[in-house]
């Protein structure tokens, strides 16, 4: 079955540029030009992934990203002409899975779409259920779901992949580059510091005190390790 994508940009020329290409690649494409329309169409069509422009009328792409993330685990790629690194981190902290700067090539956009969709589908298809039990956390690889003390925690596809990578081998230290390669499996070179933004969001969801993490621990000068218990 074809994946449904939500393409959101207030510039018609961008929609005219991107939409035919994505349809030609076999996707079902739903377009919106405002933030409110994007939220409405997301509820109506339930797309697997949104390509979301930062600057939108009525409400910003960041606000749309925040609202989508409250209600769904769909993939989100932020697209913007802003090149400041701080803006990129803000977008990721709002729940985006990836960030693309204008101008971009259609091939690059497609590569990033495929990468995010792979993360979302990474745990599907296994016949045998496997639950990773790490302290108060239970992680289902086949269902792509996480629970803490029995209460389900909603993670984005990227967050889930990172958590699975770390939790699968407690105590093993991963550099940021290793996490990009092992957990994110990017087709394109990405900024290692984007890992920090994703880790920050995971900690806010799973840690009792994100400033003093028990599960995902920082190894200063190198990267991260999982320290939340070794039982399985």
Domains of the chain: 4-121 (3.40.50.2300), 131-226 (1.10.10.10)
Closest by CA to 79, choosing from 25, 36, 24, 17, is 17
> How is residue 174 written in tokens?
């991963």
pLDDT at residue 126 in the model = 43
pLDDT of residue 22: 94
Distances in whole angstroms, Cα of residue 5 to Cα of each of 27, 29, 31, 51, 81: 7, 5, 8, 7, 21
Rounded to whole angstroms, the Cα distance separating 207 from 170 reads 16
Cα gap 115→97, rounded to integer Å: 10
Which residues sit opposite 230 in a β-bridge? none
> Maximum distance among all alpha carbons in the chain?
54
pLDDT in tens, 112-128: 898 888 877 764 444 44
**Global pTM value:** 0.63
Using one digit for the tens of pLDDT, what is the confidence trace for 111-167? 889 888 887 776 444 444 567 888 888 888 777 788 888 788 988 888 888 999 999
């Amino acid at each position: 079955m074809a994946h449904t994508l939500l393409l959101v940009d207030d510039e018609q020329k961008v929609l005219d540029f991107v939409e035919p290409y994505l349809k030609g690649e076999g996707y079902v494409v739903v377009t919106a030009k405002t933030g409110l329309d994007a939220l409405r169409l997301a509820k109506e069509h339930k797309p697997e992934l949104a390509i979301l422009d930062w600057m939108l009328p009525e409400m910003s792409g960041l606000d749309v990203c925040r609202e989508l993330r409250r209600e769904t685990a769909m993939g989100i790629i932020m697209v913007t002409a802003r090149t400041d690194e701080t803006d990129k981190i803000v977008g990721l902290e709002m729940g985006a899975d990836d960030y693309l700067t204008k101008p971009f090539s259609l091939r690059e956009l497609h590569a990033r779409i495929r990468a995010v969709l792979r993360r979302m589908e990474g745990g599907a298809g296994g016949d045998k259920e496997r639950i990773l039990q790490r302290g108060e956390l239970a992680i289902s690889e086949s269902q792509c779901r996480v629970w803490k003390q029995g209460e389900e925690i909603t993670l984005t596809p990227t967050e889930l992949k990172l958590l699975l990578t770390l939790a699968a081998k407690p105590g093993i230290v991963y550099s940021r580059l290793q996490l990009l390669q092992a957990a994110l499996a990017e087709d394109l070179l990405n900024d290692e510091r984007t890992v920090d933004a994703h880790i920050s969001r995971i900690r806010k969801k799973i840690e009792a005190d994100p400033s003093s993490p028990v599960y995902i621990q920082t190894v200063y000068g190198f990267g991260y390790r999982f320290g939340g218990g070794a039982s399985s």
